[in-house]
């Protein structure tokens, strides 16, 4: 059955909120936030906010499309329009290309499941992520593969799967690492932002981030993951003075020009699934 417009709008709004929550999470080593621009010279908080505002209606459209059994080609066409709107809003800066892909698929999947469920039933995070793999996984693997993205360059050079592999597999790092970390962090963190910082470090410790590979090569990726593991193993945000430790890592990443943008997209996806399934 068709998804009511207000439900599509709700899902699209939650995706927008997830982008804003990700932006307002600090410190995220090397990344743009409301505090500074991290390792980036061509974008800041206002750039990301303008991008998120421009993308909100496209997440609504992607939800509506998902509820009507859209093909990957249908979703890709909306995604291309969304990317164009992003570039117009940012003056040509790529702020959210990866997030359009990840959050767009999850919006479509959530809407598809919601349209087929009984009124009292709500999809789980695992079922939403799993639907992406079941419905569109083969088409994601087939491509087309962008020729000039950081992810495709890392695929050719290092064999890293990147965002496409994550989506085709049903976002395992989000379901198995991001969401458990976020919900566990709420029991030790002082506030939701701190819980998101813990979640980000948990993703950073595990993900083969193609943005890190692009900027720092295999050495940069290994370094970033090891630093994240050390932060978590010494107590993460549950220890006194964690903010100073996280800030020190952030400034170190800025000095090395490292930017784990793939982890930022997965943090936003984690927030989206958490909110869609009753986490907040």
- Asked if 102 contacts 166 with a C-beta cutoff of 8 angstroms, the reply is yes
Distance CA 54, CA 43 (A): 16
**Long-range pairs for 40-45 at CB < 8 Å and ≥24 separation?**
40/259, 42/93, 43/90, 43/93, 43/95
- Asked if 262 contacts 211 with a C-beta cutoff of 8 angstroms, the reply is yes
- Asked if 233 contacts 219 with a C-beta cutoff of 8 angstroms, the reply is no
Which two three-digit tokens encode residue 88?
């117009």
Q: Where are the domains of the chain?
A: 5-276
Q: For residue 76, how many other CB atoms are within 10 A of its CB?
A: 17
pLDDT at 280: 63
Per-residue pLDDT 10s for the chain (280 aa) are 567 779 999 999 999 999 999 999 999 999 999 999 999 999 999 999 999 999 999 999 999 999 999 999 999 999 999 999 999 999 999 999 999 999 999 999 999 999 887 555 789 999 999 999 999 999 999 877 654 455 555 454 444 467 899 999 999 999 999 999 999 999 998 899 999 999 999 999 999 999 999 999 999 999 999 999 999 999 999 999 999 999 999 999 999 999 999 999 999 999 999 999 986 6
pLDDT at 145: 60
The closest of 69, 67, 78 to 100, measured between CA atoms, is: 78
């Amino acid at each position: 059955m068709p998804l009511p417009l207000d439900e599509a709008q709700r899902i699209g709004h939650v995706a927008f909120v997830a982008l804003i929550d990700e932006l307002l999470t600090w410190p995220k080593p090397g990344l743009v936030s409301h505090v500074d621009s991290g390792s980036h010279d061509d974008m800041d908080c206002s750039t990301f906010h303008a991008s998120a505002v421009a993308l909100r209606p496209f997440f609504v459209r992607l939800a509506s499309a998902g509820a009507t059994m859209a093909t990957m080609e249908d979703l890709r066409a909306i995604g291309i329009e969304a990317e164009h709107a992003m570039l117009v809003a940012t003056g040509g800066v790529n702020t959210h290309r990866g997030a359009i892909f990840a959050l767009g698929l999850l919006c479509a999947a959530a809407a598809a499941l919601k349209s087929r469920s009984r009124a009292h039933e709500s999809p789980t995070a695992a079922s939403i992520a799993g639907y992406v793999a079941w419905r569109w996984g083969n088409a994601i693997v087939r491509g087309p593969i962008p020729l000039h993205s950081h992810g495709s360059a890392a695929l050719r050079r290092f064999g890293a799967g990147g965002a496409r592999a994550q989506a085709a597999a049903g976002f395992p790092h989000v379901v198995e690492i991001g969401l458990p970390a976020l919900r566990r962090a709420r029991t030790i963190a002082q506030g939701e932002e701190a819980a998101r910082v813990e979640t980000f470090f948990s993703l950073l410790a595990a993900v083969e981030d193609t943005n890190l590979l692009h900027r720092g090569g295999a050495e940069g990726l290994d370094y970033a993951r090891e630093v994240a593991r050390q932060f978590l193993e010494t107590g993460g945000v549950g220890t006194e003075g964690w903010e100073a430790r996280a800030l020190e890592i952030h400034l170190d990443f800025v000095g090395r020009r490292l930017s784990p943008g793939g982890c930022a997209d997965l943090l936003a996806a984690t927030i989206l699934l958490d909110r869609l399934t009753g986490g907040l």
